[in-house]
Amino acid sequence: DAMVIQNPRYQVTQFGKPVTLSCSQTLNHNVMYWYQQKSSQAPKLLFHYYDKDFNNEADTPDNFQSRRPNTSFCFLDIRSPGLGDAAMYLCATSFDPTSGSTDTQYFGPGTRLTVL
């Protein structure tokens, strides 16, 4: 089945130790998103890619970076995780909403990050 896959599902890292989360999709969507969701809060958009065009949210800390080497894969790099970065990280994909196509976003299962 076409889907959005995230690895790992659970990640434990130490304070300050870089970590990379991955997302892949078989939906052939050209837009990929990374969200951060903390307990009992709304998912918060960190950044997104329209194809290879990177769009950073103004309030996303510099500690968070992203790479999209091809259409199917997208990575979230946290350069120096702090205790406040412990959260669920959600990857989502959609068609280009500006193109008139459906703008529905589909989410991967998430990676739950614990920072010790």
Partner 1 sequence: RKEVEQDPGPFNVPEGATVAFNCTYSNSASQSFFWYRQDCRKEPKLLMSVYSSGNEDGRFTAQLNRASQYISLLIRDSKLSDSATYLCAVIGVDYKLSFGAGTTVTVRA
Residues that bind partner 1 (CB under 8 A): 33, 40-43, 45, 48, 88, 90, 92, 97-98, 103-110, 112
Give me the least distance between CB of 44 and partner 1, in Å please: 8
97: phi then psi, degrees, rounded to nearest 5: -65, -20
Cβ closer to partner 1: 50 or 75? Answer: 50
Cβ closer to partner 1: 8 or 18? Answer: 8
SS3 for the chain is CCCEEEECCEEEECCCCCEEEEEEECCCCCEEEEEEECCCCCCEEEEEEECCEEEECCCCCCCEEEECCCCCEEEEEECCCCHHHCEEEEEEEECCHHHCCCCCCEECCCEEEEEC
Give me the least distance between CB of 80 and partner 1, in Å please: 26
Cβ closer to partner 1: 33 or 64? Answer: 33
Give me the least distance between CB of 107 and partner 1, in Å please: 4
Give me the least distance between CB of 5 and partner 1, in Å please: 11
Cβ closer to partner 1: 79 or 106? Answer: 106
